[in-house]
Amino acid sequence: MRTTLLMSFCALSVAALAGSSARAEDLGGAELKDRISGRQVYLATPFGGEFPLNYRSDGTVDGSGKAIGLGRFMQPTDSGSWWVDGSKLCQKWKSWYAGKQFCFTIRSTGPAQIAWTRDDGLTGTARIAQ
């Protein structure tokens, strides 16, 4: 149950990677890597808070930062790897999602806002810390 809740939380969090803008454009390749690498991405959650993911420039990612507005019981942690494959941002966690790889189409919706669509159709929004 806890793993299922955590996986749902993370999936919904990733869906929070978008903002609002009149003009959105898909990111890919070097532009996508430059936008994400070395940054902390705050995933919007359906609970009204944000969950941080740290996309390190060495290709590792971790979800170990302090969640904002989610209370002390919603502080899940894991680490894994991330990479850009063509026009997609891909990631694989050690334990989240049972270690399954997922890739995302990332759309810029503002200077520090993105929207994402996971390869299974799940969507969300996030903001990128500068």
| Residue 47: closest CA among 65, 69, 63 | 69
Range from 25-34, 59-68, 84-93 carrying the lowest mean pLDDT:
59-68
Q: Is the pTM of the predicted complex or chain greater than 0.85?
A: no
| Residue 61: closest CA among 21, 92, 88, 31 | 92
Categorize the per-residue pLDDT at 12 as very low, low, confident or very high, splitting at 50, 70 and 90. Answer: very low
The total domain count for the chain is: 1
Classify 111 as helix, strand or coil: coil
Give the integer Cα–Cα distance in Å for 115 and 24.
9
| Mean pLDDT (whole number) for 44-55 | 86
Give the pLDDT confidence score for residue 20 in this predicted structure.
36
| Mean pLDDT (whole number) for 20-44 | 83
The boundaries of the domain holding residue 67 are 2-128
Strand partners, 60: 81
| Mean pLDDT (whole number) for 36-48 | 89
| Mean pLDDT (whole number) for 39-52 | 87
Give the pLDDT confidence score for residue 130 in this predicted structure.
74
Half-sphere exposure of 113 (CA within 13 A, CB side): 13
**CATH number for the domain including 23?**
2.40.128
